[in-house]
Structure 1
């Protein structure tokens, strides 16, 4: 606790998309650029100019990250237009690129992430890592499109490659202190230097803190706070000029009062009108703390907790062997997650306990050999991954659960004759599910990519990957009522039975789930240099995402047995096409990059949620096909060291090409399910018949905006301060995102409106040394939503996770 108190801090809320306009800065911060205007990247495991890499890549240099307050993956979506990130809490987080990556909805540990997150070549298996602050990052590269022939873990949508600053044999130290509104405070410290002629060390500490931005009227406290601590240490041993051995360890902890939702609105469903939110709220004498979500007030009555610990160690050996470079990365990582949520999103005792603590460990081993000649660049690798997951969850219903979750027929059967309209039964109070969920996940791969320089201008780049995946899962949920009676799917005799009514909400279930398969994938890229600074490329990739196992429960058959066919999901098959154009003009002062892509996925792994009852938190199913296609453009200009500007844009058309048995949106749910030749009723009409499933073919994928942009610039002039030469500067960064669907099946009630964010900074700095500046993020005070959620029970209640309000403050950076 003392260490936490010493290093309290807070995150900043926006930043600058690192377009080539900031090339000199990014290159100087990480690796010396090959020429002015270059950004140097290591995306293909060799040092090269970003403009020479035949793939769509976005780069953020370490200095740019620091100066603009871009501090974690969540904020990068404001900067990189094709990146989408959504999170209701750290565990339920997903990063998607071009609309692909992970299913939208509650996290299911039995599936893979389509966007890989790598820190210093170590794969992070869970997106929870993306909610932490970047710690001493030297550069971040966002690679769009499949990257399985380059990286250890298969990534069908792209990769986020984070490179930390390395230990140095020259002593250096730097610090950063920030303060701002909402009790914002931040401290970062880094020290690096030699321990001997062959050994260097580096240690970095980052601590962030901020008071809550939402007031909880039930607990009389501010929630949605931030409380982060990060530590990272590295030791570099360089026994010769051809060998580097790096031992690294890190520990990160979050302990905020998180994650709060607010009342957003109500949308009529097909449930009986007396069983929808307005009538139920009246019956229970309940009013939300506010019906305006942007009052930033909630009344959640369950404890909010999001204790999140992640860390590990790695050993990286890099040695020159013959004409090439051999690299070995051995790593162990852990993740401990201890949450508590309010899953009914109200101040009513409906679900009084909802928590799924999980402990995860992973081991990875990667071997690579890279060779560069005048005609060939070759990269070959072996990768092994093993992950163990153990989740022990608890869900408990409260005294208001019966009214919210039981059907009208069940209410009538339970309550005295003639009193069903006013009766508030209590048979679900104390109904408890205790879960024991386990997964062992193994992945083995061999991969290779070759660049053949046919001529000085024309390069052919094929890549291949052979992958084996095995997943062994176990799901065991034991449900008991307040009397301790075991509740199973066959409890009771039907809707007139109390036990049957309880079983309709929560019931015991256990089943094993196993999946294993070999897969082969490949890609081919052709690139042609039209001139020194103008290059075109074309890519085709045939790849896959591993099949998965359902670890959130599956539907039961008529006999109450789990449907084991739903315990596994088939692998995704991906066909990807891309055309790109990269260019620099006017002595590399102007950069114009364009990309067009089309990706189709067969057997898309979609999240299916049973909204009617609390039986399932959400399970996986295969949609027949999805398709995403679009255009991306990056433009930047840096006519002098005094001025730079950029505009980045993305048009993304991502939709379900075919999904005929999808879950229905809330306006087509809640009524009696049709049978035989019955016809479903009109959307949003109380008491109407509801379809068993919906055909949502042609609908947009959730979480994806059709249009996304980022733009900004910076201007500086020479000026002295404290007798020191430096620069006075002003900077502006902004982003826009058009409307997007926040429900797995698009609903008229859950479209998130488009919004723009505007950020300013101004200060004085030296090229190396002191930097003093003030900043305002979300300067216009835009009210925006990060995610909308439909409450279970089809009452029509909709809750929101809000984006940050206007924040402002000051930062001092210094070397010492």
Structure 2
């Protein structure tokens, strides 16, 4: 096995070295009059200043508005196929919860209190929670994927990388755009965007609204509750955005933005990979069919407001202030066992609020430039879930039901100061030096208790339910008066200095070599499922080394390469063990394990073969290994959500005709085998590939446009999430787990779909 892995590594390195590419496909405008032969000059803000992609010594993929439109991409998770070694997938349970991994680093559990390993940003505003992070794209200019730790400029919780959603700036003209989409599973989408100049050349109002709906890919075959919507994997979402931009002078810019998203899609039901032992729930015929004993109601609400003030103080100095306030609420029903019996049901409520402030300065000198700033974040992340094991309670104790109820908060206050400078040593040689100091304080409490009845987070959810006098003690906190009773949240603080050092050599106008060392920092945290008064887990640290080359060989071929190695230390990990005194409880202790190492390569190429034909190729390879740790009873078998290979091949062909401008594109995306959980191979997805194709048209005048998009043409079935509550005997047979059933559940990515979009703009 080791020899074969080494062989794969050599092959990948050889291929990547030959290609040495960077997938650079973003474009600024969709109108045909701006289409020109040759490579695009792509601007990004990966280092918090506007630069050409080819001059940035960072592994970054930028996907522009035109490319998104031409591929019919409507949601952020589809971006993963353009960026190597990247996983962006819809998590289990809801349509809006994100699972994000880059280079094998991320966060698998979306429960409140756990910090992500990949930062999501909307116009430089940090989205702290995975709930609602599966963003539907509205009025977007480009999306940037920054791979590797971004601990200097972006701070904590970017140990894997960052994904930046950049909205379109206003042109100052009156604009209006309306588009409608119809497609498979009765898809019906409507998007309206535009802008209105309120004061000529000074004040502009931008707006956007989307109504997105689709029937389910499957259905709940049996529901214990009459009158429930039995569609599974459906979509019912609305999103709105208002933006006010003010330019009182040429040197001063202000933008006030508000956005809101309401997702009322049903809770997702998982696919039973094993038939139930306790009730009538065989393996369904379709991976999108399920069973449930719960309401299918599910709600995710997001709302935020932000203010940006950008002042060009002098020709060399600019100052920028960014502040935001965001909140989200989720009310969801997750049926872990996916049967019509209350074997393992988890209704849950999540409630998050946060504010942030950032003051940034950008100075350009004769032989250097410098970016620095201060950052403040204050967030409260709370939740309440009930793990209902009603069947077990009735069978084992003869009581009406059984519930493990957990509620609590993890609150965080973080302050940071950062600086990064690029210094020209000679005309060709430069150096990057960066540092960030972060100081964070976090407090948390957990109420955890057992009730011998079925209880729910909200009274009246089940007709006739009354709470009764059930006590839920606080198990995570402090005992200030020494009476043995926990009476205050438990608190911890951490501080960390994270450096970055790099060197860049501009061999000629079109060739840059670079090498860098950077460090990322992920917050320490408390266990939101604590059953005892335990200490917080320490922060995670990632040390990363990169060597790369970016080169435009001529006006038609762009080839770049990045080779990287990272050491992921003190990884936070939950050990799950049965309670020897109470078989209704799984003790879940949060701590740190030694870590993991990942070595890999990312190769991407763009070739403008002719004036009409462009070919793109992207390859990601990584070799990840988790260090042995005797403190873990069950050895970890591999990195979760991390395939060894990712591969993307795409072609784009343009055609001018007397009736308009056509763009034909097609692409193939491959993901190698990967595990959904690190401690078991029971949920392992075999390698698979998806094939996509699109035809786009734009009128000669540029006002009408249309697109026909087909995705996953071969109708591949692939897992993106799941639950594993089964045991295994000495003969390799599955045995019942928590709840007394064989609960092995998978959630799947979208099946084959076709949709048609027609739009008009002026």
1:646 corresponds to which of 594, 616, 621: 616
| 1:397 match | 389
CA contact (8 A) 2:376 2:414 kept: yes
Is the alpha carbon distance of 1:622 and 1:152 closer, same or farther for their aligned partners in structure 2, counting shifts above 3 Å? closer
Tell me, in whole angstroms, the C-alpha distance in 2 between the residues paired with 1:617 and 1:769.
Answer: 61
TM-score (norm 2): 0.86
Structure 1 residue 756 and structure 2 residue 756: aligned?
A: no
1:626-667 deviations in Å (ceiling 9; x for gaps): 1111011001111344111111110011221233333xxxxx
Structure 1 residue 251 displacement after superposition? 0.5
| 2:10 match | none
| 1:415 match | none
TM-score (norm 1): 0.80
| 2:265 match | 256
Structure 1 residue 115 displacement after superposition? 1.0
| 2:476 match | 511
Tell me, in whole angstroms, the C-alpha distance in 1 between the residues paired with 2:286 and 2:473.
Answer: 37
| 2:346 match | 354
Q: Which has the larger strand fraction?
A: 2
Structure 1 residue 32 displacement after superposition? 13
1:721-779 deviations in Å (ceiling 9; x for gaps): 3xxxx2233210221001111123132x2211111111111242247322222221111
| 2:572 match | 605
CA contact (8 A) 2:192 2:208 kept: yes
Tell me, in whole angstroms, the C-alpha distance in 2 between the residues paired with 1:571 and 1:73.
Answer: 28
| 2:460 match | none
Structure 1 residue 311 displacement after superposition? 1.1
Structure 1 residue 200 and structure 2 residue 219: aligned?
A: no
1:252-276 deviations in Å (ceiling 9; x for gaps): 110101211011237xxxxxxxxxx
> Unaligned 5+ residue runs, structure 2?
1-20, 224-228, 456-470, 478-489, 727-735
Tell me, in whole angstroms, the C-alpha distance in 1 between the residues paired with 2:565 and 2:578.
Answer: 33
Structure 1 residue 734 and structure 2 residue 726: aligned?
A: no
Q: 3-state SS of the aligned residue for 1:659?
A: coil
2:320 corresponds to which of 316, 320, 327: 327
Tell me, in whole angstroms, the C-alpha distance in 2 between the residues paired with 1:610 and 1:175.
Answer: 55
Structure 1 residue 809 displacement after superposition? 2.1
Paired residue total: 688
1:777 corresponds to which of 707, 711, 714: 711
Structure 1 residue 318 and structure 2 residue 310: aligned?
A: yes
Structure 1 residue 707 and structure 2 residue 645: aligned?
A: yes
- More off after superposition, 639-648 vs 789-798: 789-798
1:462-520 deviations in Å (ceiling 9; x for gaps): 10011101110010123221499xxxxxxxxxxxxxxxxxxxxx996621232201111
Tell me, in whole angstroms, the C-alpha distance in 1 between the residues paired with 2:401 and 2:27.
Answer: 62
CA contact (8 A) 2:476 2:533 kept: no
Structure 1 residue 538 and structure 2 residue 515: aligned?
A: yes
Structure 1 residue 61 displacement after superposition? 0.3
Structure 1 residue 98 and structure 2 residue 103: aligned?
A: yes
Structure 1 residue 293 displacement after superposition? 4.8
2:415 corresponds to which of 444, 453, 456: 444
Tell me, in whole angstroms, the C-alpha distance in 2 between the residues paired with 1:344 and 1:610.
Answer: 19
Is the alpha carbon distance of 1:114 and 1:28 closer, same or farther for their aligned partners in structure 2, counting shifts above 3 Å? farther
Structure 1 residue 426 displacement after superposition? 5.3
Is the alpha carbon distance of 1:212 and 1:609 closer, same or farther for their aligned partners in structure 2, counting shifts above 3 Å? farther
Is the alpha carbon distance of 1:772 and 1:363 closer, same or farther for their aligned partners in structure 2, counting shifts above 3 Å? same
Tell me, in whole angstroms, the C-alpha distance in 2 between the residues paired with 1:477 and 1:469.
Answer: 26
Aligned positions of 1:443-462 closer than 5 A: 443-462=414-433
Is the alpha carbon distance of 1:25 and 1:240 closer, same or farther for their aligned partners in structure 2, counting shifts above 3 Å? closer
Is the alpha carbon distance of 1:483 and 1:788 closer, same or farther for their aligned partners in structure 2, counting shifts above 3 Å? closer
Is the alpha carbon distance of 1:262 and 1:578 closer, same or farther for their aligned partners in structure 2, counting shifts above 3 Å? same
Aligned positions of 1:212-227 closer than 5 A: 212-219=216-223, 221-227=230-236
Structure 1 stretches of at least 4 aligned residues deviating more than 6 Å after TM superposition: 26-29
Q: 3-state SS of the aligned residue for 2:58?
A: coil
Q: 3-state SS of the aligned residue for 1:127?
A: coil
Aligned positions of 1:568-717 closer than 5 A: 568-587=536-555, 589-610=556-577, 615-616=585-586, 618-662=588-632, 693-696=633-636, 699-717=637-655
Tell me, in whole angstroms, the C-alpha distance in 2 between the residues paired with 1:170 and 1:179.
Answer: 30
1:806 corresponds to which of 752, 757, 762: 752
Is the alpha carbon distance of 1:147 and 1:318 closer, same or farther for their aligned partners in structure 2, counting shifts above 3 Å? same
